Chain A
Amino acid sequence: GAVVSQHPSWVICKSGTSVKIECRSLDFQATTMFWYRQFPKQSLMLMATSNEGSKATYEQGVEKDKFLINHASLTLSTLTVTSAHPEDSSFYICSARDPSGNYNEQFFGPGTRLTVL
Protein backbone atom coordinates (compact mmCIF):
# COMPACT_ATOMS: atom_id res chain seq x y z
CA GLY A 1 0.00 0.00 0.00
CA ALA A 2 0.89 3.66 -0.23
CA VAL A 3 3.16 5.18 2.41
CA VAL A 4 2.57 8.34 4.38
CA SER A 5 5.22 9.75 6.69
CA GLN A 6 5.04 12.33 9.45
CA HIS A 7 7.74 14.41 11.05
CA PRO A 8 8.51 14.72 13.85
CA SER A 9 7.25 11.55 15.52
CA TRP A 10 7.18 13.33 18.85
CA VAL A 11 7.78 16.85 20.09
CA ILE A 12 7.87 18.57 23.47
CA CYS A 13 7.50 22.32 23.56
CA LYS A 14 6.90 25.14 26.00
CA SER A 15 3.51 26.80 26.32
CA GLY A 16 3.15 29.72 23.92
CA THR A 17 5.45 28.39 21.23
CA SER A 18 4.45 27.16 17.78
CA VAL A 19 5.01 23.67 16.45
CA LYS A 20 5.01 22.52 12.84
CA ILE A 21 4.14 18.96 11.86
CA GLU A 22 4.81 17.67 8.36
CA CYS A 23 2.85 15.02 6.51
CA ARG A 24 4.27 13.55 3.30
CA SER A 25 2.97 11.05 0.80
CA LEU A 26 6.08 9.15 -0.22
CA ASP A 27 5.11 7.21 -3.31
CA PHE A 28 2.01 8.93 -4.58
CA GLN A 29 0.57 12.38 -5.09
CA ALA A 30 -2.22 13.42 -2.78
CA THR A 31 -4.51 16.27 -3.70
CA THR A 32 -6.32 15.79 -0.40
CA MET A 33 -4.90 15.07 3.03
CA PHE A 34 -6.68 14.92 6.35
CA TRP A 35 -5.57 15.94 9.84
CA TYR A 36 -6.89 14.13 12.89
CA ARG A 37 -6.35 14.52 16.62
CA GLN A 38 -6.59 11.70 19.13
CA PHE A 39 -6.68 12.19 22.90
CA PRO A 40 -5.77 9.28 25.18
CA LYS A 41 -8.29 6.45 25.07
CA GLN A 42 -10.45 8.37 22.63
CA SER A 43 -11.00 7.95 18.93
CA LEU A 44 -9.70 9.99 16.07
CA MET A 45 -11.40 13.31 15.51
CA LEU A 46 -11.13 14.93 12.10
CA MET A 47 -9.75 18.45 12.44
CA ALA A 48 -9.52 19.58 8.85
CA THR A 49 -9.28 18.58 5.23
CA SER A 50 -6.17 19.89 3.50
CA ASN A 51 -6.55 20.65 -0.21
CA GLU A 52 -3.53 21.18 -2.45
CA GLY A 53 -3.46 24.71 -3.78
CA SER A 54 -6.44 25.95 -1.83
CA LYS A 55 -7.56 26.69 1.68
CA ALA A 56 -8.14 23.93 4.16
CA THR A 57 -11.64 23.06 5.29
CA TYR A 58 -11.96 22.99 9.06
CA GLU A 59 -14.41 20.96 11.12
CA GLN A 60 -16.78 22.69 13.46
CA GLY A 61 -15.09 23.76 16.66
CA VAL A 62 -11.55 23.72 15.27
CA GLU A 63 -9.90 27.15 15.29
CA LYS A 64 -8.37 27.81 11.90
CA ASP A 65 -6.17 30.59 13.24
CA LYS A 66 -4.70 28.27 15.84
CA PHE A 67 -4.20 25.25 13.62
CA LEU A 68 -2.66 26.53 10.40
CA ILE A 69 -2.67 24.11 7.48
CA ASN A 70 -0.62 24.53 4.33
CA HIS A 71 -0.81 22.06 1.45
CA ALA A 72 1.88 23.56 -0.74
CA SER A 73 2.56 20.57 -2.98
CA LEU A 74 1.00 17.27 -3.99
CA THR A 75 3.17 15.38 -1.51
CA LEU A 76 3.33 17.68 1.51
CA SER A 77 0.87 19.13 3.98
CA THR A 78 1.89 20.90 7.17
CA LEU A 79 -0.03 21.57 10.37
CA THR A 80 1.24 24.37 12.59
CA VAL A 81 -0.09 24.55 16.12
CA THR A 82 0.32 28.22 17.02
CA SER A 83 0.73 29.44 20.60
CA ALA A 84 0.44 25.90 21.88
CA HIS A 85 -1.01 25.26 25.33
CA PRO A 86 -1.06 22.13 27.49
CA GLU A 87 -4.60 21.31 26.34
CA ASP A 88 -3.23 20.98 22.80
CA SER A 89 -1.16 18.00 23.91
CA SER A 90 -2.42 15.11 21.81
CA PHE A 91 -1.58 12.58 19.12
CA TYR A 92 -1.86 14.22 15.69
CA ILE A 93 -2.30 11.92 12.72
CA CYS A 94 -2.54 12.75 9.05
CA SER A 95 -3.92 10.64 6.25
CA ALA A 96 -3.94 10.84 2.49
CA ARG A 97 -5.91 9.30 -0.30
CA ASP A 98 -4.10 7.90 -3.32
CA PRO A 99 -6.14 9.05 -6.30
CA SER A 100 -4.72 6.28 -8.49
CA GLY A 101 -5.69 3.55 -6.07
CA ASN A 102 -8.85 2.43 -4.37
CA TYR A 103 -10.91 5.60 -4.17
CA ASN A 104 -12.06 4.86 -0.71
CA GLU A 105 -8.93 3.98 1.18
CA GLN A 106 -7.06 6.49 3.29
CA PHE A 107 -3.46 5.82 4.28
CA PHE A 108 -2.44 7.07 7.69
CA GLY A 109 0.86 8.49 8.80
CA PRO A 110 2.55 7.13 11.95
CA GLY A 111 1.37 10.09 14.03
CA THR A 112 3.06 12.88 15.98
CA ARG A 113 2.81 13.00 19.74
CA LEU A 114 2.78 16.60 20.93
CA THR A 115 3.39 17.43 24.56
CA VAL A 116 3.07 21.06 25.63
CA LEU A 117 4.58 21.90 28.99
Chain B
Amino acid sequence: GQNIDQPTEMTATEGAIVQINCTYQTSGFNGLFWYQQHAGEAPTFLSYNVLDGLEEKGRFSSFLSRSKGYSYLLLKELQMKDSASYLCAANTGFQKLVFGTGTRLLVSP
Protein backbone atom coordinates (compact mmCIF):
# COMPACT_ATOMS: atom_id res chain seq x y z
CA GLY B 1 0.00 0.00 0.00
CA GLN B 2 0.85 3.66 -0.07
CA ASN B 3 1.15 5.72 3.07
CA ILE B 4 2.36 9.30 3.44
CA ASP B 5 2.22 10.93 6.88
CA GLN B 6 2.53 14.59 7.78
CA PRO B 7 1.42 16.60 10.80
CA THR B 8 -2.01 18.09 10.27
CA GLU B 9 -1.27 21.58 11.50
CA MET B 10 1.63 23.71 12.71
CA THR B 11 1.94 27.26 13.96
CA ALA B 12 4.92 29.57 13.99
CA THR B 13 5.72 33.24 14.28
CA GLU B 14 6.98 35.63 11.66
CA GLY B 15 10.76 35.49 11.26
CA ALA B 16 11.07 32.04 12.82
CA ILE B 17 12.17 28.72 11.34
CA VAL B 18 9.79 25.78 10.96
CA GLN B 19 10.42 22.18 9.92
CA ILE B 20 7.61 20.12 8.42
CA ASN B 21 8.24 16.39 8.51
CA CYS B 22 6.97 13.73 6.14
CA THR B 23 7.35 9.96 6.36
CA TYR B 24 6.43 7.66 3.53
CA GLN B 25 5.94 4.00 2.71
CA THR B 26 5.23 3.35 -0.93
CA SER B 27 5.42 0.37 -3.25
CA GLY B 28 7.70 2.30 -5.61
CA PHE B 29 9.78 5.41 -5.04
CA ASN B 30 11.56 7.69 -7.47
CA GLY B 31 11.73 10.87 -5.44
CA LEU B 32 9.81 13.22 -3.19
CA PHE B 33 8.09 16.51 -3.98
CA TRP B 34 7.05 19.36 -1.75
CA TYR B 35 4.25 21.65 -2.90
CA GLN B 36 2.69 24.75 -1.38
CA GLN B 37 -1.06 25.19 -1.66
CA HIS B 38 -3.06 28.24 -0.65
CA ALA B 39 -6.73 27.68 0.11
CA GLY B 40 -8.79 27.21 -3.04
CA GLU B 41 -5.78 27.28 -5.32
CA ALA B 42 -3.69 24.68 -7.11
CA PRO B 43 -0.42 23.44 -5.62
CA THR B 44 2.79 25.17 -6.63
CA PHE B 45 6.10 23.36 -6.85
CA LEU B 46 8.67 23.97 -4.12
CA SER B 47 11.25 21.19 -4.36
CA TYR B 48 12.07 17.71 -5.58
CA ASN B 49 14.56 15.37 -3.88
CA VAL B 50 15.79 12.21 -5.54
CA LEU B 51 19.04 11.60 -3.68
CA ASP B 52 19.67 11.65 0.05
CA GLY B 53 20.66 14.96 1.51
CA LEU B 54 19.68 18.57 1.79
CA GLU B 55 18.70 20.81 -1.13
CA GLU B 56 18.59 24.52 -0.41
CA LYS B 57 16.60 27.02 -2.43
CA GLY B 58 16.43 30.46 -0.91
CA ARG B 59 14.37 30.45 2.29
CA PHE B 60 13.21 26.90 1.65
CA SER B 61 15.26 23.71 2.02
CA SER B 62 14.23 20.10 1.66
CA PHE B 63 15.88 16.98 3.01
CA LEU B 64 15.51 13.33 2.06
CA SER B 65 16.61 10.06 3.63
CA ARG B 66 15.56 7.17 1.40
CA SER B 67 16.71 4.53 3.87
CA LYS B 68 14.49 6.01 6.57
CA GLY B 69 11.56 6.90 4.32
CA TYR B 70 11.74 10.43 5.68
CA SER B 71 11.79 13.96 4.36
CA TYR B 72 11.41 17.42 5.77
CA LEU B 73 10.78 20.90 4.45
CA LEU B 74 12.54 23.70 6.27
CA LEU B 75 11.21 27.23 6.00
CA LYS B 76 13.41 30.05 7.27
CA GLU B 77 12.65 33.71 7.99
CA LEU B 78 8.95 32.99 7.95
CA GLN B 79 6.64 35.54 6.40
CA MET B 80 2.89 35.94 6.77
CA LYS B 81 2.45 34.91 3.15
CA ASP B 82 3.93 31.50 4.00
CA SER B 83 0.66 30.61 5.73
CA ALA B 84 -0.58 27.80 3.52
CA SER B 85 -0.81 24.03 3.29
CA TYR B 86 2.38 22.15 2.47
CA LEU B 87 1.97 18.89 0.64
CA CYS B 88 4.51 16.13 0.53
CA ALA B 89 4.15 13.78 -2.46
CA ALA B 90 6.04 10.63 -3.38
CA ASN B 91 6.80 9.91 -7.02
CA THR B 92 5.95 6.22 -7.17
CA GLY B 93 6.99 5.73 -10.78
CA PHE B 94 5.76 6.80 -14.21
CA GLN B 95 5.22 10.25 -12.68
CA LYS B 96 2.37 9.03 -10.48
CA LEU B 97 2.28 11.11 -7.33
CA VAL B 98 0.87 9.98 -4.01
CA PHE B 99 0.13 12.95 -1.78
CA GLY B 100 0.11 13.24 1.98
CA THR B 101 -2.84 14.94 3.62
CA GLY B 102 -0.91 18.18 3.86
CA THR B 103 0.29 20.29 6.77
CA ARG B 104 -1.56 23.52 7.38
CA LEU B 105 0.96 26.15 8.51
CA LEU B 106 -0.25 29.27 10.27
CA VAL B 107 2.25 32.10 10.60
CA SER B 108 1.33 34.71 13.19
CA PRO B 109 2.82 38.19 13.69
- On A, residues with C-beta under 8 Å from B are 1, 32, 34, 42-46, 49, 91, 93, 97, 102, 104-111, 113
Contact = CB atoms under 8 A, between A and B. Distances in A.
A107 B97 CA distance: 12
Contacts, number: 51
B100 A43 contact: yes
B95 interface: yes
B87 A105 contact: no
Contact of B41 (A1, A32, A44, A111): A111
Is chain A's binding surface mostly helix, strand, loop or mixed?
A: strand
Interface stretch (B42-50, B57-65, B68-76): B42-50
A111 B50 contact: no
A97 B42 CA distance: 15
Contacts of A106: 45, 95, 97
